[in-house]
Structure 1
Amino acid sequence: MKGSKAAIRYAKAVLQQAQEDNVAKEVFGDMQDVLNTLRGSKELRSVLQSPVIKASDKKASLLEIFGSSTQNTKSLINTLVENRRIRLLGGVAESYVNLYNQAKGVIVAQVTTSVALSPEIEAQVLSKVKDLTGSSSVSLENTIDESIIGGFILRVGDLQYNASISNNLNKLRREFTVN
């Protein structure tokens, strides 16, 4: 759900308005909810992409799903529907989260594992990332990808550390095929 240039522009506008209204943190929570909901629902993503479903139906559904959101988030949904850009909602939400974290100086570390992290392991990873980056403001995103078999892949900014079993198996495979 990468943010396109248009999604980033919408996210910047929403962030600016939210800061003026002193609700940037609340909208951040809304955008995380939108992002998690869209990531978790293939059906909803399909509805937003569908040219067959009326814009008014998409708008009504989204306002129902995110009814407890701030007025800023509801205005975003209305604007995207009016401009026929509702398919950008996920990208706008992701871009907003990234822009908000940048503005607050929060470093986001992405950990990919084959199973969900336990609270103890999550605390250890957070501690290690804080040591590595020298930042006390670190957020952790855990993505589950069973294809890595075990271990983990850690991404912090442009740096990546791949300690997955599948990566180690691929290294071994390359070593044996070269010799």
Structure 2
Amino acid sequence: MSNSVVAKRYASALFELAQQHGQTATIQEELNELKKAFRDNKGLEQLLSSPRLSVAKKREMIADIFKGVNPIVMNTLFVLLDAKRMNEAQNVFDEFHQLANDAAGVAEAKVYSTRPLTELETNSISTAFAHKVGKQSLRIENIIDPSLIGGIRLQIGNQIYDSSLSAKLEKLQRKLIGS
């Protein structure tokens, strides 16, 4: 999560527009893809922030690269470009996701397990832990981590719930050594 006041303002404006047009979920998905594009292509943000290219040329590049993107998202990119705030783009995307998740009563969660979780297991984890963080559901990203030996480790924001076998063994070891 960003601490950028600028990103929060742009994200709030984008979120209000998305809500007005009933496109919050669609825009959230598109912003996920844009975030991946910016993250995977480090030079893209640098290129769009470069003073060597004119704003018109940068607009043309954005229009070509992100052809087919929702007009609201495209206009947001143009506004960031015109305001010389392209370096805040990923922070704006993050802030938007937070606003959309809060409005929907959803929290982002990472579940570390030794194998891919089934849909039933994912739903069970979401149901069991969502209320602990005051949300209606969790949007779970499953990360495979064989070092857990068994069980799961769940991270929701800065909270971690660890019921992995490796954590239990470490706890037992500390008890035995401390005795």
Return the TM-score normalized by structure 1.
Answer: 0.72
Counterparts of 1:76-87 in structure 2 under 5 Å?
Answer: 76-87=76-87
Secondary structure at the residue paired with 2:33? helix
In structure 2, relative to structure 1, the CA distance for the partners of 1:131 and 1:83 (3 Å cut) is closer
Residue number in structure 1 paired with 2:152: 152
Residue number in structure 2 paired with 1:140: 139
Counterparts of 1:105-120 in structure 2 under 5 Å?
Answer: 106-114=105-113, 115-120=115-120
Partner Cα distance (2:168, 2:60) in 1: 49
Counterparts of 1:85-124 in structure 2 under 5 Å?
Answer: 85-104=85-104, 106-114=105-113, 115-124=115-124
Secondary structure at the residue paired with 1:142? strand
How large is the Cα RMSD of the aligned pairs?
3.4
Partner Cα distance (2:65, 2:96) in 1: 19
Structure 1 unaligned segments of length 5 or more: list them: none
Partner Cα distance (1:54, 1:116) in 2: 45
Residue number in structure 2 paired with 1:47: 44
Residue number in structure 2 paired with 1:69: 69
In the TM superposition, residue 129 of structure 1 has moved relative to its aligned partner by 2.9
The answer to whether the 8 Å contact 1:55/1:81 transfers is no
- Select the structure of larger CA radius of gyration: 2
Return the TM-score normalized by structure 2.
Answer: 0.72
The answer to whether the 8 Å contact 1:109/1:129 transfers is no
Partner Cα distance (2:172, 2:59) in 1: 52
Partner Cα distance (1:170, 1:138) in 2: 31
Aligned length: 173
In structure 2, relative to structure 1, the CA distance for the partners of 1:12 and 1:35 (3 Å cut) is same
Partner Cα distance (1:152, 1:46) in 2: 37
Amino acid in structure 1 at the alignment position of 2:17:
Q
Partner Cα distance (1:169, 1:55) in 2: 59
Secondary structure at the residue paired with 1:112? strand
The answer to whether the 8 Å contact 2:130/2:138 transfers is no
Structure 2 unaligned segments of length 5 or more: list them: none
Instruction: Give aligned-pair identity as a percent.
Output: 19
In the TM superposition, residue 102 of structure 1 has moved relative to its aligned partner by 1.4
In the TM superposition, residue 32 of structure 1 has moved relative to its aligned partner by 2.8
